[in-house]
Amino acid sequence: QVQLKESGPGLVQPSQTLSLTCTVSGFSLTSYNVHWVRQPPGKGLEWMGRMRFNGDTSYNSALKSRLSISRDTSKNQVFLKMNSLQTDDTGTYYCARDQLNFDYWGQGVMVTVSS
Amino acid sequence: DIQMTQSPASLSASLGETVTIECRASEDIYSNLAWYQQKPGNSPQLLIFDANTLADGVPSRFSGSGSGTQYSLKINSLQSEDVASYFCQQYNNYPRTFGGGTKLELK
């Protein structure tokens, strides 16, 4: 069955770089797009960016200067890297499969930016 | 960017009641709209796509409607398991944008 699972550090120091991995199963990264979405505690959802099935990427313009999304199709993994983290980057980070809408989501990984 | 304005931000209703949540887009999104349900501590789950099509396994008491810039999610006969936050999302354009969410509680 389709599954996505995020992994990464729970705590990142301010100004450091966040590295997250989304490991997928039950579908191919060369057939579906995968997106990253984040959610500050108690708040709404923010689209961050997308890895397209053909390897192209697109980013939220508000994050574009700090954000990079890549993948390793042999490992069924999509990666997120975001630099210069600040406290308002604290939140839960999700990856989700794209069927235009997001039909499957990972469980999310909570990231706290704090010294 | 397309702005999605969702209302109300919070809603308190009784079991068995019918509730409606509204979502307005800043431009025509041609029914490219999804609704998600997020229960506390869980990730969002797809409820409705293409404005009015129920996702697999979603109870028929949920329904979606609308076109152009105005959309709504209706829950008939509210159940206790419907306590959650609800978000709309447009997928007509990039960046994909979400409404601010509606927190539904039991009265």
Q: What is the mean pLDDT of chain B?
A: 97
pLDDT digits (tens, 9 = 90+) for B73-107: 999 999 999 999 999 999 999 999 999 999 999 99
Q: Name the residue facing A47 among B32, B36, B95 (closest C-beta).
A: B95
SS (H, E, C) chain A: CCEEEEECCCEECCCCCEEEEEEEECCCCCCCEEEEEEECCCCCCEEEEEECCCCCEEECCCCCCCEEEEEEHHHCEEEEEECCCCHHHCEEEEEEEEECEEEEECCCEEEEECC
User: Is B89 in Cβ contact with A101 (below 8 Å)?
Assistant: yes
Q: Cβ distance A91 to A38 under 8 Å?
A: yes
Mean pLDDT of A5-17: 96
Which residues in chain A have their CB less than 8 angstroms from residue B36's CB?
45, 102
pLDDT digits (tens, 9 = 90+) for B40-76: 999 999 999 999 999 999 999 999 999 999 999 999 9
Rounded CA-CA distance B82/B101 in Å is: 14
Q: Is B52 on the interface with A (CB under 8 A)?
A: no
Q: What is the pLDDT of residue B104?
A: 97
Q: Please report which confidence band the pLDDT of residue A104 belongs to, taking 50, 70 and 90 as the band edges.
A: very high
pLDDT digits (tens, 9 = 90+) for A14-73: 999 999 999 999 999 999 999 999 999 999 999 999 999 999 999 999 999 999 999 999
**In the block, residue with structure tokens 């099935």:** A53
Nearest Cα neighbor of A91 from A113, A60, A106 is A113
DSSP H/E element including B95: none
Min CA distance, B60 vs chain A (Å)? 18
Q: Is B94 on the interface with A (CB under 8 A)?
A: yes
Min CA distance, A53 vs chain B (Å)? 16
Amino acid at A2: V
Q: What is the pLDDT of residue A99?
A: 83
